[in-house]
Amino acid sequence: MEVSNTKIYTNGRAALRRILAANCPLTAAAWADFEDLLRPQFLAKGEYLCEEGAYPSDAAYLISGVARAFYRNQDGVEYNKTFFTAGSFPSPLAALILQAENYINLQCLADSYIFRISYPKLTALFARHRCLETFVRRMVELTWVEKELREINMVMKDASANYQLFRERFPELEGQIPQYHIASYLGITPIQLSRIRAKLAKG
């Protein structure tokens, strides 16, 4: 049975409220003001939440679907930085915080439902609702920790170990996205990934 958009967004609001409440002492008034900022949007597979060269003003919350963050070099080669699944925030943080040009691409790898959230309007609520400021700070901190740990693992661990960490971090993704996206995330070729998977399958 197809789920209606209304139900998807209703469930998304409920899930997002639980995330806020789990990370800060959320008041009813703060949630009401925050909820007013949520702008629902459907993005088809392949569409972008944000592209390089833009000057974004919106953060995003992923209700359902899959997205990736990637860089593209001067030769057009793409490098996957991370993936986003339901319940996460695929947002160009550096560009939003610095109010600067964006250098990272955020693209849906499956049909996705999101909430767009005006970052300037959100930060304007901080003086009235300190809990929202606490929440945003907490999300930025978690993003920074995840980024640092990934960079450490990429240097300190081999590709096989990092592949297993990927499967722990994103257990549902392997069957949903092309293997070349995973290989790019790991910094290896698809052939190398196939060899790692074959070796692990043999035990």
Integer CA distances (angstroms), 4 to 9, 88, 116, 150, in order: 9, 21, 19, 37
Report CA 139 to chain centroid distance, whole Å: 11
Place of tokens 């469930």: 11
Q: Enter the pTM of the model.
A: 0.93
Helices (H), the chain: 5-23, 28-35, 93-98, 119-124, 130-156, 159-169, 179-186, 190-202
The reported pLDDT for the residue numbered 22 is: 96
Q: Walk along the chain (203 residues) and give the pLDDT tens digit of each residue.
A: 345 799 999 999 999 999 999 999 999 999 999 999 999 999 999 999 999 999 999 999 999 999 999 999 989 899 999 999 999 999 999 999 999 999 999 999 999 999 999 999 999 999 999 999 999 999 999 999 999 999 999 999 999 999 999 999 999 898 899 999 999 999 999 999 999 999 998 87
Please state, in angstroms and as integers, the Cα–Cα distance from residue 186 to each residue in 44, 79, 161, 176, 199, following that order.
25, 9, 10, 17, 17
Domains of the chain: 5-126 (2.60.120.10)
Which of the 8 DSSP states describes residue 81? E
Quote the pLDDT of residue 178. Answer: 94
Closest listed residue to residue 32, CA positions, set 125, 158, 138 = 125
